[in-house]
A and B are shown apart, each in its own frame.
Chain A
């Protein structure tokens, strides 16, 4: 589903590469933790997968797209098959929960009758069916993140990317979010989650890909966050 082949990314403002000759492959339906300290290249990797940036060397494959070489007019098509969740939720403050989720479908031109059936379904999946008409300011952090996940998942993406989705949440709420991400993973969606959360990684025992200074440092199929770090 995802394949990086000797990917190197150097930002113009920096001498050290953000990613240095990284090769890694993720199968369809896998759940992968992407770990490493700040500045190790986790966010860069996610940005390359989303075609927010292109690699200087190597190839990035998502499904059958060679992402780095995709013509820019084809990028929307790629992104429509990917969902993204961020630490800071990124909800639109002037729209309700349901409108925030519907927004993702509206702007890719989905017909209204589809939106009307799909949005309640996905809100049900994230256990927010009762809060469809709330505004984001009325939600707790965990609820807001679940709205963000609903928005990322509503178009049934092939891949869900999560950039420290529990970074702003307390441990208990984080567990709820992880349960939700596992449920989404069980529908066949590949999940890649960048995180600093040792407790979550250790308790889930999923595949762990560790980056260190832009290099692939470790790839364990049922890993833990690591010892002595």
Chain B
């Protein structure tokens, strides 16, 4: 056992520059993978945050908005009852034209757009909270064009842009991670071959005196796995630094504060870190094993 470890570390020392290149490439690849995982996690959280806030808005047409301010006429109550009976719907709230105008004034206080808007230009709405926010389109389809309805808007489609932005960030990091992973794989494979070549006399003697596969091959595998693990640790460290000095500032800045939830240290250390360690070790082991099988005769 001791022998195997000693040989593995001797191997890493012997090809020091290769080992360093291997570790750096692996770290970058795993770091990108980690960034991608953090992006996925952030997207999930952001969606959760928004889905609890967003709703489907059924805007009423001009005659209903103007003639039935407290939703007591047959058209408005008919729509409301039907929505409430729908199993997709969690709740329905009525907002009259005047209430909408008040909210509008509140949101855009002090801005010039206020001068242009009259209560008459805002519709009364039935604000529908969905039991499942992802199925808002079904409500849109059912109620568009109904008597008394001006239009139906699923607010989810308006936040979709944000999600698709986050999604492309995630895809880009995963794409880069794969390219880097390929480079890391080739480097690991190459280094094992180099290492096996440097040690061919030794391995030859080992085989002659009856050393098992464990003794002849495991040192090379350990070399690969140590590389993977060190790479994973460095990648996690890099993500911690990235979080502290880049993400934290970005997400607490004026532009994105309260738009995207912050990334927690526990996300980096307890979720992404262990994933990277496992992925790094598994990929390095597989690469090492395949390389030994294909290129190194024992």
Across the interface, do A107 and B211 meet the contact criterion of CB distance under 8 Å?
yes
A78–B205 touching, CB < 8 Å: no
User: How close is B39's CB to chain A, nearest CB, in angstroms?
Assistant: 46
Give chain A residues whose Cβ lies under 8 Å from the Cβ of B115: none
Tell me the A112-161 residues at the B interface (CB within 8 Å): 151, 155
Within 8 Å CB of A90, what residues of B? 201, 204-205
Interface string of B207-232 (1 = CB under 8 A from A): 11111110110000000000000000
By beta carbon, the residue of chain A nearest B1 is A109
Interface size on B, residues (CB 8 A): 15
Whether A108 and B204, one on each chain, are in contact in the complex, defined by CB atoms closer than 8 angstroms, is no
Complex Cα gap A55–B202 (Å): 26
B210 touches A92 (CB 8 A): no
Tell whether B166 is near chain A: CB-to-CB under 8 Å.
no
Which residue from chain B places its CB closest to the CB of A75 in the assembled complex? B210
- Do B210 and A77 touch (CB < 8 A)? yes
Count contacts on A: residues with CB < 8 A to the other chain. Answer: 22
Contact partners of B209 in chain A: CB under 8 A: 79-80, 83, 103-104, 107-108, 151, 155
Quick one: closest B residue to A72, CB to CB?
B213
Highest count of chain A CB atoms <10 Å: which of B205, B206, B216: B205
Contact code string A84-111 (vs B, CB < 8 Å = 1, else 0): 1000001010000000000110111100
Question: Closest residue of chain A to B215, judged by CB?
Answer: A107
**Extra contacts besides A76-B213, A90-B204, A107-B211 (19): CB < 8 Å:** A76-B210, A76-B212, A77-B210, A78-B210, A79-B208, A81-B210, A83-B209, A92-B202, A92-B205, A103-B209, A104-B205, A104-B209, A106-B3, A107-B215, A107-B216, A108-B209, A109-B212, A109-B215, A151-B209
Chain B residues packing against A (C-beta within 8 Å): 3, 201-202, 204-213, 215-216
